[in-house]
Amino acid sequence: MRVLLPFLALYRRHTFLILLGIILAIVTLLASIGLLALSGWFLAASSVAGLAGLVTFNYMLPAAGVRGAAIFRTAGRYAERVVSHDATFRVLSHLRVFTFQKILPLSPGGIARFRQAELLNRLVADVDTLDHLYLRVISPMVSAAVVIMVVTFGLSWLDGPLALTLGSILLLLLLVIPPVFYRAGKPIGKELTLLRSQYRTELTSWLQGQAELVVFGALENFRQKLNATEQHWQRRQWQQASLGGIALALMILASGLTVTLLLWLAAAGIGGDSQPGALIALFAFAALASFEAMMPVAGAFQHLGQVIASATRVKQLIEQQPEVAFPATGPVAQQSASLQISDVTFTYPEQPLPVLQNVLLDIAAGEHIALLGRTGCGKSTLLQLLTRAWDPDSGEIRLNGQPLSDYDESTLRAMTTVVSQRVHIFSSTLRENLRIASPKVSDETLNSVLQQVGLSKLLENEGLNAWLGEGGRQLSGGEQRRLGIARALLHSAPLLLLDEPTEGLDAETEQQILALLRQHCRGRTLILITHRLYGLEHFDRICVMDGGNVVEQGSHNELLRQQGRYARFRQRIHHTKAPSRS
């Protein structure tokens, strides 16, 4: 239960709506009990009065009470649904924001140990499950407790022993039934949560890995595994539904036995009368209606096991410690950026060998650097260290002479523009996807930048209002990459870090993009990762990396004269492109 305390604390922000929803639920239940009890008494009393009652019996007042109770029940139920669901959605929104705020600083190191599907399931499905805490546990339990006290107190004015008997039975059920079914449903709820996560993770893997599964002939085996998980999940769902049915059946049985007991006790009279009279109907129908408040209680704690399991999974995620901690304040942002990388070594967690080893690199402000090397030599990792996605194991990185770790996050982000290998496109308009880089930029500037990167066709039809969809599904890989470059052009930072920006582009477009970047980066520091050799002669320095270190550096002409690795790369490419002679 303690695992729920941090999430219960978040409910304080919505105390008014939550309390209002509970009050409206109580009013609705009391109106329903009053309607049924008063209607039963009215019919019984009218029958007893007979024809003589036309003169002696007041038909108007009970009829008005019945109508008033019916109106209160209808209006109260509607208002309770509106307020309760509004409170639930607000709490859910707050929980999601709270969880996301805890997750965001973990990226990428703290969340690397979670698979993407697992991370998404914890952030969405498990957080969604936490709303059961209010709708299925707190509200029904509090409402039932208050209704029991009010009904017992109200009926005690007519007959104290009968009222106490009914109240004691209801209170006993309230105290016994939920814990019993909580114990019975806890292992099922926990396993349901785990199976839901497992099934969605496996389903995501199956959908994303179709090509590999077909190539290796493992599609059928994976599908059978997925079906087995689904069947196990469905069996657990059936068991939970069966528990709910048993709880409901017990409550119906208790309702019938309670009414029978009250009729038997009331046979000797009610309120001191020797004859039971019409009030016996009031007690009987009040007892039946009171169990309406108890019905949600029967299965309330049954779902608590699932809520606790989800809360545990979310807590495991939000309690992760970030790999990188930023200070609250730091050096002020500047319009230029120089970098000093001194003996930097870095190894990814749980990996045996370092990715970078004693890297030494001094980059002057406004210098254009190309990082060249085969896959896995540490180029992208070095860029991640420059953005403080990770911190080096040893050595130091300085920006404008200040340790990179001294900069607060907002200043560092303001001074750095990054185009990674994977450009993320948000499910929003073209305009909003570009304004991530510069929120106050005008539409005219956006149109100009899109034309510069060769995306003018995106301005056709809906223009900047075009909806790009989840992950930019309407765009090709090359268009997504050029959209990332457009963001870089919009973000006026003195340091640009580009990781394979022209990957997937044809030769002509690559030339245009590189020329555009050189023009945009005049006076700015540029670090470009590439494995393509086109246009490198325009860079101030080319750094060849291998084995986690810079093994060769210099200008294009200098490296050609040295006849080192860069020269061999150029010769190999030249021979590959040369036409064969017959």
Does residue 582 have a pLDDT over 50? no
What is the predicted pLDDT for the residue at 51? 61
- Identify the residue whose tokens are 């301005």: 459
Output the pLDDT for position 57: 63
Structure tokens at 311: 């809360």
Does pLDDT of 537 surpass 80? yes
CATH fold label, 339-577: Rossmann fold (3.40.50)
Sheet holding 402-403, edge to edge: 356-363, 339-346, 394-399, 402-403
| Closest to 11 (Cα-Cα) out of 81, 95, 100 | 95
Average pLDDT, the chain: 84
* DSSP 3-state of 129: helix
Amino acid 338: pLDDT:
92
Higher-pLDDT residue of 258, 300: 258
447: closest CA among 416, 486, 473?
A: 486
What is the Cα 482 distance to its own chain's centre?
29
Contact at 8 Å (CB) between 329 and 409? Answer: no
| Residues 6 or more apart whose Cβ sits within 8 Å of residue 157 | none
What tokens does 226 get?
Answer: 């997925």
| Count of alpha carbons within 13 angstroms of residue 460, beta-carbon side | 5
- For residue 397, what pLDDT is reported? 93
Q: What number is the average pLDDT over the span 518-527?
A: 89
| pLDDT-based confidence at residue 345 (cuts at 50, 70, 90) | very high
Is the predicted pLDDT of residue 37 greater than 50, yes or no? yes
pLDDT value at residue 525: 92
Prior bond to 108 cis, omega within 30?
A: yes
Greatest mean pLDDT range, 176-180, 402-406, 506-510: 402-406
CB count within 10 Å of CB 571 equals: 12
Q: How far apart are CA 121 and CA 337, in angstroms?
A: 40
Domain regions of the chain by residue span = 2-318, 339-577
% residues pLDDT > 90 (the chain)? 18
pLDDT surpassing 70 at residue 240: yes
Average pLDDT over residues 295-309: 79
Percent of the chain predicted with pLDDT > 70: 94
Q: What is the mean pLDDT of residues 251-263?
A: 90
Distances (CA, A) of 112 to 58, 247, 376, 512: 75, 43, 18, 36
| Contact call for residues 487 and 436 (beta carbons, < 8 A) | yes
Buried b (16+ CB within 10 A) or exposed e, 180-206: ebbebbbebbbbbbebbbbbbbbebbe
Using 50, 70 and 90 to split pLDDT, how confident is the model at 266? confident
pLDDT value for 580: 44
Q: Is a pLDDT exceeding 90 seen at residue 268?
A: no
Task: Please state, in angstroms and rounded to a whole number, the distance separating the CA atoms of residues 103 and 525.
Answer: 31
pLDDT of residue 581: 41
Paired strand residues for 481: none
Cα separation, 356 vs 345, whole angstroms: 5
Q: Is the pLDDT of residue 156 over 80?
A: yes
- At the fourth CATH level, the homologous superfamily of domain 2-318 is ABC transporter type 1, transmembrane domain (1.20.1560.10)
Beta strands 525-530; 356-363: pairing state: unpaired
CATH topology match: 2-318 vs 339-577: no
- Determine the residue type at 475: L
Q: Are 527 and 387 in contact (CB under 8 A)?
A: no
